[in-house]
Amino acid sequence: MPATRIRLQTGADTTLAQGIAAIQRQMKLAVAFPPEVESAATQAAAQPRLPELDRTDIPLVTIDPPGSMDLDQALHLERRDAGYRVHYAIADVAAFVASGDAVDAEAHRRGETLYGADSRIPLHPQVLSEGAASLLPDQLRPALLWTIDLDASGEIAAIDVRRARVRSRARLDYAGVQQQIDAGTADALWSLLREVGELRQRREQARGGISLALPEQEISVTDGQWQLAYRVNHPVEDWNAQISLLTGMAAAQLMVKGRVGLLRTLPPPDPQSVARLKLTAQVLGIAWPATLGYPDFIRSLDPAQDTHVAMLTACTTVLRGAGYVAFDGELPAQPVQSALAAEYSHATAPLRRLVDRYVGEVCIALCANQPVPDWARAGLPALPELMREADRRAHQYERQVIDLVEAVLLAPRVGESFHGAIVEADGADRDRGNGHGGNDAAHGGVVMLRDPAIEARVSSATPLPLGQEVTVRLAEADPMKRVVRFELVQQVVAKS
């Protein structure tokens, strides 16, 4: 789907800045760090606790979105016997932050980094998150170095994690690496990543895991131009994501075996949810053979087709209820992340998510056959609720900023008509944030526009044609309320 670059109208920059500041005030977000936290972070940055083990010989590289500076992970892969060895270095936040210090206390108040357009509210002060703790190139850094051996099929054969000094060789971005892969000029590392990534994808499919290929709405700002886009991952992103997932599964294996830790869980969908999906497929005219389970059905959908996007949107209803569960001694009654069809934990983003630091400490101790540090063990029970609230806050902030940007960009175009497709209709219960709340029309839903790349509420006096192409009129775009609303004009009849 196309991206839309928009040069802001006169004064719109100010409206956006004021609107984002208003969201931050209303949500009572601490944008700046208290002076004592900044001071403690600066001191910590100058005195990292470097481990004795030196693994700067491993030619690690980072790959992230363009411009990223908070680099949590660096990777290297190599062939080993009939299988593979994965080295995955994770930023060692605990080399700078001690339990109970000012930086740690503030991180517990925040929980995770918040993202919204060009605004970012980090978990840790910049001197750490984008400086001393970040795995920036050509810098000696403390890290948790995961070494995961895979057999020829991509299954885990051995796991080790220990503290080590590392040095990344390069800071790369997805688009640049993908261009090199497509041109045939990429380093051999990326061919190996593709091989391992695709093996892990096949193992996920064999387990019954699923990944929704639903285009995500994204806002970026470059040289004063705001771009709205439905973002679809580059293939190299999906392969790289498999390494992160692999590490999270390895961490879960260690913790389950050691009977202490914290898992990221998702309950399996209930039969009623799957039955509703099958009815939706019937409405959309999408064949769902009786022999095809819902994971394989979801994988068969094509996000380039409007009816399939509507179906994928409906499929999000079976992937709800994700959370965290801590355990110490007795294993959780439901330990599985059902979308992955495996036990899993968050372990690879400690600069941006608090829970990963705890998981890393537990796994380091278990691998060394040492007791889990008292501070980490004692902190586990409170983490699920703390992270649940942090996740809710992060989702709310991102959604409200998107609502604001949409309203600002569309405000001059009230009354104009647009083409799009209905992706939710009547009874849709996906959380759309304040700006996409309900309306008083007899029928309501969500329309996905192609240009500009926007999803918004749409109302109609008649039932909305789910999955069908329509023409809608922009009825309201209010930056102050962060509301965008369309009205159905007509269904577009396909040419025969």
Tell me: the pLDDT tens digits for 15-36? 888 999 999 999 999 999 999 9
Tokens (6 digits) for 101: 């210090």
pLDDT surpasses 70 at 39: yes
Q: What is the DSSP string of 132-196?
A: ITS--BT-EEEEEEEEEEE-TTS-EEEEEEEEEEEEB--EEEHHHHHHHHHHT-S-HHHHHHHHH
- Can you give the pLDDT at residue 3? 43
Instruction: Name the residue among 89, 98, 146 with its Cα closest to residue 373.
Output: 98
Q: Which residue is it, tokens 């209803």?
A: 317
Tell me: the pLDDT tens digits for 59-88? 999 999 988 999 999 999 999 989 999 999
Tell me: the pLDDT tens digits for 346-356? 999 999 999 99
| Residue count (the chain) | 496
Give me Rg for the CA atoms of the chain: 24
What CATH number should be reported for the domain whose range is 414-491? 2.40.50.140
What percent of the chain is modeled with pLDDT above 70?
A: 91
Res. 225 pLDDT band, cuts 50 70 90: low
486/471 Cα distance (integer angstroms): 10
The mean of the pLDDT values for the chain is 89
55/453 Cα distance (integer angstroms): 45
Residue 287 burial by Cβ neighbours in a 10 Å radius (0-12, 13-18, 19+): exposed
Res. 214 pLDDT band, cuts 50 70 90: confident
CB 448 within 8 A of CB 309: yes
User: What mean pLDDT do residues 101-129 have?
Assistant: 94
Tokens (6 digits) for 492: 């577009």
CB 143 within 8 A of CB 89: yes
pLDDT surpasses 60 at 11: no
Instruction: Name the residue among 55, 83, 249, 50 with its Cα closest to residue 145.
Output: 55
Q: Is 430 helix (H, G, I), strand (E, B) or coil?
A: coil
Tell me: the pLDDT tens digits for 419-453? 989 988 875 433 334 344 444 457 899 998 877 87
381 cis-preceded (ω within 30 degrees of 0): no
Task: Report in angstroms the alpha-carbon separations of 96 from 13, 121, 130, 358.
Answer: 37, 20, 13, 14
> CATH 2.40.50.140 region(s) of the chain?
414-491
